[in-house]
């Protein structure tokens, strides 16, 4: 199966949000209250973050990703904030290729993300380095 990964312009995010939110729900919940779906949508509509959708050749939305270009004092990175979907094994490489081109074209030095441990099985084969693990304790 072939996949197309497209960035959605801010003024179109509301029209695809119902489909996108289905895939992002679990990832947003893992933020432990830092984000709620309506805040994610607001950041997309305002252009603070970007929304990407993964569509298979039958027109089914199989995944959704949110990104943000982050400017640090010494470099710029493309940060993946939320990612979710079905059949990730099938479209992961399409996603990585698409985001890598977008990051490079945008002057980014690389791609960064905080992800659950299971993502390492994909990331380790594609040149990512495991530099830290994010832990939290809620009071």
Tell how strand 50-56 and strand 3-8 pair up: antiparallel
22 inside domain: yes
Domain residues for 39?
3-126
Contacts of 58 (CB under 8 A, 6+ apart): 1
Give residues with Cβ within 8 angstroms of 12, minimum separation 6: none
Instruction: Indicate whether 103 belongs to any domain.
Output: yes
Q: pLDDT tens track of the chain, all 139 residues?
A: 899 999 999 999 999 999 999 999 999 998 888 999 999 999 999 999 999 999 999 999 999 999 999 999 999 999 999 999 999 889 999 999 999 999 999 999 999 887 766 666 666 776 767 666 666 655 5
Q: How far apart are the first and last CA of the chain?
A: 46
pTM: 0.86
Q: CB–CB of 52/97 below 8 Å?
A: no
Look at residue 34 and tell me if it is in a domain.
Answer: yes
Q: Which of 107, 109, 84 is nearest to 95 (CA)?
A: 84
- What CATH number has the domain bearing residue 30? 3.40.630.30
Question: What is the count of structural domains for the chain?
Answer: 1
Q: Count the alpha carbons within 13 Å of 119 in the hemisphere toward its beta carbon.
A: 19
> Which residues neighbour 77 within 8 Å (Cβ) at sequence distance 6 or greater?
69, 70, 103, 108, 109, 110, 111, 112
């Amino acid at each position: 199966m072939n996949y197309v990964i497209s960035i959605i312009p801010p003024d179109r995010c509301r029209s695809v949000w119902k489909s996108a939110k289905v895939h992002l729900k679990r990832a947003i919940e893992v933020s432990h209250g830092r984000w709620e779906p309506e805040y994610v949508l607001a950041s997309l509509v305002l252009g603070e973050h970007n929304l990407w959708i993964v569509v298979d050749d039958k027109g089914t939305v199989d995944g959704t990703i949110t990104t943000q270009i982050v400017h640090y004092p010494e470099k710029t990175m493309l940060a993946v904030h939320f990612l979710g979907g079905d059949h990730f094994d099938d479209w992961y490489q399409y996603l990585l290729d698409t985001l890598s081109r977008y990051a490079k074209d945008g002057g980014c030095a690389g791609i960064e993300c905080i992800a659950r441990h299971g993502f390492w099985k994909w990331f380790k084969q594609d040149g990512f380095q495991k530099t830290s693990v994010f832990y939290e304790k809620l009071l």
